[in-house]
A = this chain, B = another copy of it.
Amino acid sequence: MTLPNILFTINGNSHSVGSQTVNLTEDRGLAYGHGLFETLLFSQSALPLIDRHLLRLIPDSHLLGISLQSGDVQHYLNLFLEALSDQSITDGVIKIMVTAGSGGRGYKMPDTIIPSLIFSYNPLPEDTAKHRKQGVDVRLCEHFIGNGSTLAGIKHLNRLDQVIARSEWSHDKYADGIMLSVNGDVVEATSANIFVKTKEGKWITPTLDQSGVSGVMRGLLIDRIFPACDLSVSEASLTLDELLMSQQILLCNSVKGILRVNSVSSAMDKQLLALPSDHQSLMLCEKLMELYPHYQ
């Protein structure tokens, strides 16, 4: 078994762990985006969805040729939590980045991959409480998300589409932007998945077989939150027209939880849709906070 190289970063200060050091200059994560990441809510010294994060990270890393063991990640994560505890840090965001390490010849992977495992901590985004309480305004992005990738669903390090889409606006009016595929289908927001209550009153979330990230919070909503509210939800394709006729829109990710969308504007700042919250949206948000109080 190959032990990963480890790096800890707390508020921008990095230090290596153990004898093996990470040489990021030659790292395949930097060179090609050959790796994955998880972004975890760290609340009152707990990681409420850690099991779901690991259940995604480990099999997806294998899809990229990185044979990571769950036990190893857990072991170093525990050391990282101790390092945070030593600094009296109890709340924020923990990012786990896994790359294919260095080596190989160009795109060709080395015979033995020694993964790089990077744990970093940053404070919770300032607007988190406000967004959870008041909901958010969003806009449509002009930049399309690439389509037809067999890597769809994986939270890999190739995220230029999201970077370019997020660069379309710089003010704080919009919390996020909704991204469409080249086919005109709604895929996700730049940093969140999306759930929609259609004109007909059905809850759906876009299928992610062509592009997009299969989010941990998205999975939780489908598996636990919707059933706990006695609401059915299904994965389906969603056109822009259907989005703009919807009764409710929710964004979700593993850091912020569920965010009600109050309005959708065009890329030209024209409001296309206003959405007063309904009792089903509120019930879903409250159910998450009831079952997972860390998202309060």
Contact = CB atoms under 8 A, between A and B. Distances in A.
Nearest to A211: B146
Instruction: Point out which of A125, A182, A211 has the most chain B C-beta atoms below 10 A from its C-beta.
Output: A182
A77 to B, nearest CB: 17
Contacts of A159: 31-34, 107, 158
A159 B190 CA distance: 20
Contact of A143 (B147, B150, B158, B190): B150
Interface in A139-172: 143-144, 146-151, 156-167, 170
A65 B23 CA distance: 26
Contact of A30 (B29, B125, B163, B167): B29
A180 to B, nearest CB: 11
A163 B24 contact: no
A246 interface: no
A147 B147 contact: yes
Interface stretch (A6-14, A130-138, A231-239): A6-14
A27 interface: yes
B109 A32 contact: no
Contact of A166 (B26, B108, B156, B164): B108
A251 interface: no
Interface in A161-201: 161-167, 170, 181-182, 190-191
A164 to B, nearest CB: 7
Contact of A33 (B33, B102, B143): B33
A18 interface: no
Contacts of A64: 160, 163-164
A65 B165 CA distance: 12
Contact of A26 (B9, B31, B162): B9
B163 A34 contact: yes
A191 B24 contact: no
A31 to B, nearest CB: 7
Contact of A148 (B106, B144, B165, B191): B144
Contact of A147 (B12, B33, B146): B146
Given A30-B29, A163-B32, A107 B191 contact: yes
7 contacts: A7-B25, A12-B23, A30-B30, A30-B157, A107-B166, A150-B164, A151-B160
Interface of A: 7, 9, 12, 14, 23-34, 37, 64-65, 97, 99-100, 102, 105-109, 111, 118, 120, 125, 143-144, 146-151, 156-167, 170, 181-182, 190-191, 211
